Amino acid sequence: MAAIAVSSAQQVAPGEKKVWDGVYTAAQAARGKPRFEASCSRCHNIALAGSERGPALKGSAFWSKWENESLGGLYTVIRDTMPRDGGASVVSDEIKTDILAYILSVSGMPAGNDELKVDLRALDGIKIAKKTVWDGVFTAVQADRGKENYLSGRCGGCHKLDLTGDRGPALKGEDFIAHWENGSVVTLFDKIRETMPQNSPNDVTEDAKADIVAYLLQANGFPAGKTELRADAESLGIVDIVRKGQSNTIANFSLVQVVGCLTQGSNNAWTLTSTSDPVLTRDEEPNAAALKTAQNKALGSQTFHLVSVVPFKPEGHKGQKMEARGLLYKDQNDALLNLTSLQMLGASCGS
């Protein structure tokens, strides 16, 4: 069985905390909620989903901006520039730490015993990092339910009862890890949700499919924890699958999928702007289920220059939200995507 652990890119230095370590209290987040709604929701939306006036403070757009930064960096932006329309000094620094606690709570980061303080050095020591499957993201009880659902359902007919694969691929071991590594758990869940069982995916509820994902993670050697996997894209999208001893950064010339806004530059050059983080894929073109999932994927903050774009007739999709696949190349100066597919998701980038 393949062993997997936290990637080197996500390892935390000795003495450094992560936002998952209980760095605020429930009472502080409760204080921050009405203060956020009064001072911040006009721009960032009451549900933190963002608007034309301000970015989202949860979900993939938030993670694309702040992943691997310190909590001190986020606090400094809030302290020095927010709210924009009322002057940064209108809201006290103490209230802004309460608002920060509320933002963390909305993304499911657990409360602890100590409040966030107006102490930039301490906040700089707290890393905004995604979870990995090594962090105990499901419970043993949930995995047991998932095993029962797997064994009593139709899964074994294609994947065998022992998960070793038959008409369908293996769901444990090296082949499974090689297929899903460097992506998030939501990609695995979406595959099961949209296409399994074949020809009748609605026969099994989404909650039951989340339980099956928990069972698959357990079968591949990942540890159980204290909280269950939830059947929603936001919580599953911040749990990465990574191989032991390797970074979860994607190597150059890998085939990836991204979602972004198609923009035309000078000299008929085309780029994807506000692009989501690249995700490994084995399919050069998406199927209908993959496009349906991509439609709900939030935009991000990356930009990719497109290569071999002419066959996809980009002129008809300028300004639209697109799903793109291709070979990735990144260096210190540029990020390129040599296209294998370019598909429209929405008539505009706001759709």
User: Which residues form the domain of 116?
Assistant: 21-128
Whether 160 and 175 have beta carbons less than 8 Å apart is answered as no
Q: How confident is the model at residue 294 (pLDDT cuts 50, 70, 90)?
A: confident
Residue 351 lies in a domain: no
Q: What is the pLDDT of residue 3?
A: 41
Q: What percent of the chain has pLDDT over 70?
A: 92
Q: Is residue 248 part of a domain?
A: no
Q: Of the candidates 61, 62, 76, 104, which has an alpha carbon nearest to the alpha carbon of residue 260? A: 61
The tokens for 58 are 């949860």
Helices (H), strands (E): how many in the chain?
13, 10
pLDDT tens-digit map of 232-253 = 888 898 898 987 655 566 778 9
The CATH number for 179's domain is: 1.10.760.10
What are the pLDDT digits (tens) for 265-290? 888 899 999 998 888 787 899 988 78
Comparing 160-169, 186-195, 209-218, the range with the smallest average pLDDT is: 186-195
- Which of 128, 162, 192 is the C-terminal boundary of a domain? 128
CATH code of residue 284: 2.40.50.140
Strand partners, 342: 324
pLDDT of 34 strictly over 80: yes
Residue 149 has pLDDT above 60, yes or no: yes
Residues 6+ apart with CB under 8 A from 6: 132, 134, 135, 242
pLDDT at 296: 80
Do both 193 and 231 map to the same domain?
yes
**Token pair for residue 262?**
């198609």
Alpha-carbon distance of 48 to 96, in angstroms, equals 15
pTM: 0.72
Q: Is residue 245 part of a domain?
A: no
Please state the domain count of the chain.
Answer: 3
Residue 1, pLDDT > 60, answer no
Confidence check: pLDDT of 292 > 80: yes
Instruction: Report if residue 249 sits inside a domain.
Output: no
Q: Are 74 and 149 part of one and the same domain?
A: no
Residues 173-177, mean pLDDT to the nearest whole number: 92
Separation between Cα atoms, residue 319 and residue 276, nearest integer Å: 16
- Quick check: 15 pLDDT over 60? no
The two structure tokens encoding residue 324: 């793109």
Whether 273 and 326 share a structural domain: yes
